Each structure stands twice: as structure tokens, then as C-alpha cells.
Amino acid sequence: MALLSLGLALAACQRQPTPQESDSPSATPSAQPTPEPAPSVPEPSPSPTLALPVKPTPETPMTPADTAAALPAMALPPRDDCAALPGWSAFAARLAATVKARDAAALATLSSPDVTLDYGGGHGPAELQKRLSAPSGQAVWTDLARILPLGCAVQGDLVVLPWFFWNVPDEVDPGMTMLVTGQGVPLRAKPSDTAQEVDKLDWSLVTLGPGFNPAAHYTAVITGKPQRKGYIETARLRSLLARRVIAERKGEDWHISALVAGD
């Protein structure tokens, strides 16, 4: 998956021609009054190329190529397709209580013996408990708390949280697209809390603009048709490849079979 690249066109100033002057008295016929000399026009200094000022990267405007890549208008608000599944409601309640308590041992017991933790071979409840108990595990707990309100989708005997993960259209590039998490989220003209609001977005898919920096307060995005360009608070965006929870059903028993991020 590729991130967008930054581009800015440069322009050159053209030299203006200098008006002709006549200041020789001998060139004036004796029968005619001497005309006033034409005012002198200063000639531009010989500067071959002047670059347009470059704005800081966070405020770099989108190019036509960027805009052409924008998605059609599309929204994916959370849905819960799992509530009617046998045993799911009880399992989901235990999962929510475990995440709220940040209980690593309890989450391990909710997981299958071969639970997948990454695409590099990490697996198993013991490894899960170890990771969640480490200082770096606090970020995982925080992310799990964000995932639970984002709905649940079903495919056969498997479910995934968040709901949107299995409901993004195939034509969407997950490496260049993010979901605006919320309703009425301001799209601003500049990367500032006080900048003009261009629009308000409701659970919209947006295309990343150039210069994406996940640590930045604001992120440049392009919305779908009618296309609008602007900035969204980075905290209100979620990658389509961010962490998700996949659970598997056996009878009425559920176990977490994967807790992964990436592709």
C-alpha cells in the first residue's frame, strides 16, 4: 500500500519589455516645440527564475491528480450484525468488561489456544497476556476500547470488530483511505482548530492527502464527490487496516481467534 506523494509546480517570472525613450534635442525639428522627455521606466533586474513561495508541508494544496483519486461519497456508520447470534451477547458483555478492567489474564481466557497476534508468527494466549501486561500494552487496551463501539460484522461462523472491516468496497485502496470516526466531524480549510469549516463529515471514507504524518494534529484529506479538500483531526481518523478483533463460534461458545493489525 502506498502513501500519497507531495508535489508543487514552480512558475517563472517573464521579463517585461522596456519602452523606447527619446531624449536627444537634435532629433526635434526647429519649427516644432521641444517635447517633454518620456518618463524613465526602470528596467526589471535580470532575474532568470523566481520560485513561488512554498507553504509548509501540512498546508500544501492538493494537485488535480490527487483530487482525481478521491472516492465517491461513501459513509460506513457502525452496525451490529452479531447481536442475534447464539451466545454472542454474553461473550460481547464479557469482552467489554475485560477491556474496561484491562485484565490481561481474563482476555487470554477469552482467546483460542492458537489466537493470532500478528503476521510474524506471534500467537497463543500466554503471549497475548504477556504483551498486554507490558507497558506498551496500554496502547492496545486503549485501542480495544475504541474498537468495541464500532460495530460487529458476520461471515459464517466468524465475526469481526469493527464492522467496517468486512464492509469496505473492493475498489477502495485501504492504504490510501481512512474512516472518519464520528458524526458532524469538521473538515477545515487549514490545519487549525480555529480554521473555517469547509464541511461536516459523518462516518465518511476519505482519501489521504500528501504528506501524511500520523503524529500530526491534523491530516490533509480529500472527500468524495462533490470533492472537497481540507483537514481532519488525525485522532478522528481510523485506518482501514488498523487493529481488529476476530472471533470464532463453536456451538454457542465464542473465542477470539485473531487480534491483529495490518494486511
**pLDDT at residue 52, as a whole number:** 37
Q: How far apart are CA 221 and CA 4, in angstroms?
A: 11
| Per-residue pLDDT tens over the stretch 139-154 | 999 999 999 999 999 9
249: part of which helix (H) or strand (E)? strand 244-250
- DSSP letters, 225-248, are SSP-EEEEEGGGEEETTS-EEEEE
| Per-residue pLDDT tens over the stretch 218-257 | 999 999 867 889 999 999 999 999 999 999 998 889 999 9
Nearest alpha carbon to residue 191 among 225, 234, 224, 222: 234
Which pLDDT band, with edges at 50, 70 and 90, does 19 fall under?
very low
- Which residues, 6+ apart, have CB-to-CB distance to 122 below 8 Å? 116, 131
Q: How far apart are CA 76 and CA 163, in angstroms?
A: 9
- Mean residue pLDDT across the chain: 80
pLDDT(165) > 90: yes
Nearest alpha carbon to residue 63 among 6, 1, 10, 12: 6
Which pLDDT band, with edges at 50, 70 and 90, does 210 fall under?
confident
Nearest alpha carbon to residue 200 among 185, 179, 178: 185
Nearest alpha carbon to residue 128 among 262, 256, 261: 256
Instruction: Report the 10 Å Cβ neighbour count for 76.
Output: 21
- What is this structure's pTM? 0.72
**pLDDT at residue 60, as a whole number:** 55
Domains of the chain as residue ranges with CATH: 61-76+169-239 (2.30.30.40), 88-168+241-260 (3.10.450)
| Contact by Cβ (8 Å): 159, 82 | yes
Task: List Cβ<8 Å contacts ≥24 apart for 91-96.
Answer: 91/247, 91/254, 92/152, 95/148, 95/245, 95/256, 96/148
pLDDT(45) > 70: no
**pLDDT at residue 15, as a whole number:** 36
